[in-house]
Chain A
Amino acid sequence: MTRPWALLRNSWRQLTSMRTALTLLFLLAIASIPGSVFPQRNVSAQQVSDYYQEHPDLAPTLNKLGVFDAYASFWFSAIYVLLFASLIGCIIPRLREHWQAVRMTPPEAPRRLDRLPASAPAEETDGTPAEAAARIRTMLRKGRWRVTAREQDNGSWTVSAEKGHLKETGNLLFHVALLSVLAGVAFGSWYGWHGNRILVAGEDTAFCNSVPQFDESGLGARVDEADLPGFCLELTDFQAEFLDTGMPSSFEATVTVEENGAVTAGRRFAVNSPLRLHGASVHLLGHGYAPIIRYTDRYGVSQERVTPFLSTDSMLTSDGVAKFPDANVDPATGQRQDDQQIGFQGIYVPTMPENGMVVQSVFPAENNPGLTLIAYRGNLGEDAGVPNSVYSINQAQIDKGKLTQVGEAKLLKPGESWTLDDGSTVTFVGTRDYATIAIRSDPGQLFVLFSSVLGLIGLTLSLNGRRRRVFFRITAADLRESSTTTSSSFMEAGGLPRTDYPGFADEFAQLVAATRPGGGTAEGTE
């Protein structure tokens, strides 16, 4: 019965020792490194799949070890859970001790003051011991010391004073704040959610907050899809300004917001200044162009697609596709012909160079736009049940020969049309701006901020505070043979820095000087 208990107690002691805490701190630092070396799923799922492509042998093993979700992995969690357990084990006894220390009156002066690290020999001072003790006590109180004066059996007095409890208060505050940061982070990850999406300008491409409408999303463990606040956004304007070098200088999106049944037009947000809605904030991450492509099939039926093209460089050379799976439906039969679907792969260039490559933009604004299209006809492979990228033509269908290129690549300027071999036409109508937005809610973040600020205050107190004690003993002159007058006493002093404090000797000397007859005030002892 006792042995497991002893084992448990010893393990707990081991865990809460400073050596263990330091080891765990270092393990945490080392365990943080892989997450900066390997791509992370929560940062970029794309980079993780790229890594799989480049290292097909290594990636599955790394994945098993949790390297691609390093900060949620069992080893990372194990270290910080142990670290925080060690922290709790360390601060609980210290809280108790500190509570007692703060309420305790300063201890009685030691018998031999001259053996303390700082001391001043007995010298004559004014007044009786009781008067001198009262004077010293008042002076120390003014200097914000905790003071106790005690009368001794032989009629002499001692004054004990202590200062600097704020150091340990700050220390404990800092460590408690760390725990509360962790709690806030955990709360945020349970009850927070986020989604990313491309929002194309225009009423028909408005967005309403729900999971299926996101391109990518993540909900906290305690968040249900139905919990998301309902609001809708329509991008009405997007202003991008660029320098001559093509570097962006400002982005600003204007949206119409429908929230709780109320519609507000003209709400603007920009990089660094998000749109704050009830229960979520909308952040502007990027910007691009969505070409409008109209296809008129051989039966004269027109369809229009507005598809966002993803930029491939800083000059916003963008690529994407426009797919028309419902094209060329014979109006006589109403049957869809699977080998007559049409899709266009395109490269959109907002500013084409005067001469040279028309598929490489030289400026990110639309100064001389051009869209180069490659047409494919056949089966787009949309119906196979396999998830299909909206940004690329299904390469497998091309490889299988089910999708074939029609003619050569064709460059179109806005408003231009291209007639295909079957008499159908494709028109590049123009473009719309789009904004890449992130919609996020983290109900824990204010609490985390508050806790971090508390932690910083605690840290500052703990690093700058100095705990120290001073003692004075005042003996009546008649108890000493060397006395000259009857209304005087002898005072000796001693000081004890409880923490590393190189300036203590100076402070002590000033204090003692101030208590001597004709001494100054205790100012400057802080």
Chain B
Amino acid sequence: MAELSDQLLVVTVLAYLVAMICHAAEYAFGTKSHIGRAALRPERELVMSGGPALVEKSSDPVAEAPNPWRSVLIGRAAVALTGLAAAAHIGTLITRGIAAERVPWGNMYEFILSATFIGIAAWLVVLVRWPNLRHLGLFVALFQVLLLGVAGMVAYTPVGPLVPALDSAWFIVHIAAVSTSSGIFLLGAVPAVLYLMRAGYEKGKRSFPYTLAKNVPAAAALERLTFRLHAFAFPIWTFGALIAGPIWAEASWGRYWGWDPKEVWAFISWIVYAGYLHARATPSVKRNVATWIAIIGFLTMLMNLFGVNLFFGGLHSYADV
């Protein structure tokens, strides 16, 4: 079962990779891209040239720009592949849990696996509700490939049972809340980064990296999605890291808060995201300033996920690599 889990991880990463390539293909050959437009231009001119041409064009389905439907097909395939990857992803988690005979949250590898799964699940929900955000899938898939790749290569830990300190009901509550909110925060960074690029693009900036945002949805939609993801994750993070964690810490270590490096960085992330929500709610603070704060929050999350375990140790060291 442990081997199956490891193989499924490979499948998961590959599926995300292919999904990413499909998204990239849609991106490159889509109707809105250079290439797509170049391919469409003669037909548009044909339409412009007058009535008969219009009739001629509509009567000939083959001439009907082949690129749009092909790119839509590729886009749909990308979404389907993302779904497939998500299925393999949860398969990886479940088989791992079965192999270890416990919830699969016992170390850093499993934690990243869980948080990224929550991230992709949240992404699929976003896709169902706002299908026109599909273009963001490229970046979401890229993200998954990177995080899972790092998890598999750097943080991989063989299957093992929990140490006594983790044998608690609060363990499940704490880690479930923290990994859920981490996953959604991490996902929230995708529209945040794209918003900044897209906002620049909409202001007429045509240099790299703003040009990357040519095909993504409108800046306002990205900004709103960023806010909604963060506003959703923030109370869960508050509960997981600052309430459930301390309750468990009190039972286990005798104090609810002790400035352990992991606690410190959870606190820092909380403050930064609180700052983001305040900045977002304050009309005098520009939206791009607020979004930069969310990106700083994302960096503190990465620091907490990887940095604290790699550099500082501390009481949360069973989450080690």
A interface with B by C-beta (< 8 Å): 18-19, 21-22, 25-26, 28-29, 32-33, 35-37, 40, 42-43, 70-71, 185, 194, 243, 245, 247-251, 270-274, 281, 283, 285, 438-440, 442, 445, 448-449, 452-453, 455-456, 459-460, 463, 502
Contact B254 A272 (CB under 8 A): no
B38 within 8 A of A: no
Q: Smallest Cβ distance from B253 to chain A, in angstroms?
A: 7
Cα separation A281 to B254 with both chains bound (whole Å): 8
Contact B235 A460 (CB under 8 A): yes
Contact partners of B170 in chain A: CB under 8 A: 272
B164 within 8 A of A: yes
Cα separation A448 to B224 with both chains bound (whole Å): 34
Contact A194 B163 (CB under 8 A): no
Given contacts A247-B161, A283-B254, contact A43 B259 (CB under 8 A): yes
B252 within 8 A of A: yes
Contact partners of A438 in chain B: CB under 8 A: 253-254
Q: Which 6 A-B pairs have the closest CB atoms?
A: A283-B254, A36-B264, A36-B261, A272-B168, A440-B254, A438-B254
Given contacts A281-B254, A440-B254, contact A463 B231 (CB under 8 A): yes
Q: Smallest Cβ distance from B221 to chain A, in angstroms?
A: 10
B80 within 8 A of A: no
Given A33, A271, A440, A456, which contacts B243 in the complex, CB threshold below 8 Å?
Answer: A456
B23-31, B115-123, B140-148, B266-274: which one contacts chain A?
B266-274
B41 within 8 A of A: no
Q: Write the B304-321 contact mask toward A (1 if CB under 8 angstroms, else 0).
A: 000010001010000000
Contact B252 A271 (CB under 8 A): yes
Given A28, A36, A245, which contacts B271 in the complex, CB threshold below 8 Å?
Answer: A28
Q: Smallest Cβ distance from A442 to chain B, in angstroms?
A: 7
For chain B, residues 273 to 314, give those with C-beta under 8 angstroms from any C-beta of chain A: 274-275, 277-279, 282, 284-285, 300, 308, 312, 314
Contact B234 A449 (CB under 8 A): no
Cα separation A374 to B255 with both chains bound (whole Å): 40
Contact partners of A247 in chain B: CB under 8 A: 160-161, 163
Given B164, B250, B278, which contacts A250 in the complex, CB threshold below 8 Å?
Answer: B164
B265 within 8 A of A: yes
Given B246, B255, B265, B275, which contacts A36 in the complex, CB threshold below 8 Å?
Answer: B265
B238 within 8 A of A: yes
Given A33, A243, A445, which contacts B268 in the complex, CB threshold below 8 Å?
Answer: A33
Contact A194 B254 (CB under 8 A): yes
Given contacts A271-B164, A283-B253, contact A32 B267 (CB under 8 A): yes
Contact partners of B165 in chain A: CB under 8 A: 271-272
Nearest CB to that of B282 among chain A residues?
A: A18
Contact A448 B253 (CB under 8 A): no
Q: List 23 A-B contacts (CB under 8 A).
A: A18-B278, A19-B284, A22-B279, A28-B271, A29-B272, A33-B264, A36-B261, A247-B160, A247-B163, A249-B164, A271-B167, A272-B167, A272-B168, A272-B251, A272-B252, A283-B252, A449-B246, A453-B243, A456-B243, A459-B234, A459-B235, A459-B238, A463-B277
Contact partners of A194 in chain B: CB under 8 A: 254-255
Contact partners of B167 in chain A: CB under 8 A: 250, 271-272
B239 within 8 A of A: yes
Nearest CB to that of A245 among chain B residues?
A: B160
Contact partners of B235 in chain A: CB under 8 A: 456, 459-460, 463
For chain B, residues 97 to 128, give those with C-beta under 8 angstroms from any C-beta of chain A: none
Contact partners of A460 in chain B: CB under 8 A: 235
Contact partners of B47 in chain A: CB under 8 A: none
Contact partners of B139 in chain A: CB under 8 A: none
Contact A32 B268 (CB under 8 A): yes
Contact partners of B274 in chain A: CB under 8 A: 25
Contact partners of A502 in chain B: CB under 8 A: 224
Contact A35 B259 (CB under 8 A): yes
For chain B, residues 223 to 245, give those with C-beta under 8 angstroms from any C-beta of chain A: 224, 231, 234-235, 238-239, 242-243
Given contacts A247-B161, A251-B164, A459-B234, contact A18 B224 (CB under 8 A): no
Cα separation A271 to B247 with both chains bound (whole Å): 14
Contact B256 A442 (CB under 8 A): yes
Given contacts A272-B165, A272-B167, contact A445 B256 (CB under 8 A): yes
B260 within 8 A of A: yes
Contact A449 B247 (CB under 8 A): yes
Cα separation A456 to B256 with both chains bound (whole Å): 17
Contact B252 A442 (CB under 8 A): no
B66 within 8 A of A: no
Contact partners of A33 in chain B: CB under 8 A: 264, 268
Contact partners of A440 in chain B: CB under 8 A: 254-255
Contact partners of B259 in chain A: CB under 8 A: 35-36, 40, 42-43, 70-71
Contact partners of B42 in chain A: CB under 8 A: none
Contact B285 A36 (CB under 8 A): no
Nearest CB to that of A464 among chain B residues?
A: B231
Residue of B167, B278, B308 with highest tally of chain A CB at under 10 A: B167
Given contacts A36-B308, A463-B277, contact A29 B164 (CB under 8 A): no
Contact B261 A22 (CB under 8 A): no
B258 within 8 A of A: yes
Contact partners of A459 in chain B: CB under 8 A: 234-235, 238
Cα separation A246 to B238 with both chains bound (whole Å): 36
Contact A22 B285 (CB under 8 A): yes
Residue of B168, B256, B267 with highest tally of chain A CB at under 10 A: B256
Cα separation A40 to B263 with both chains bound (whole Å): 13
Contact B254 A25 (CB under 8 A): no
Nearest CB to that of A271 among chain B residues?
A: B164
Given contacts A18-B278, A22-B275, A32-B267, contact A248 B163 (CB under 8 A): yes
Contact partners of B256 in chain A: CB under 8 A: 442, 445, 448-449
Given contacts A25-B275, A452-B243, contact A43 B258 (CB under 8 A): yes
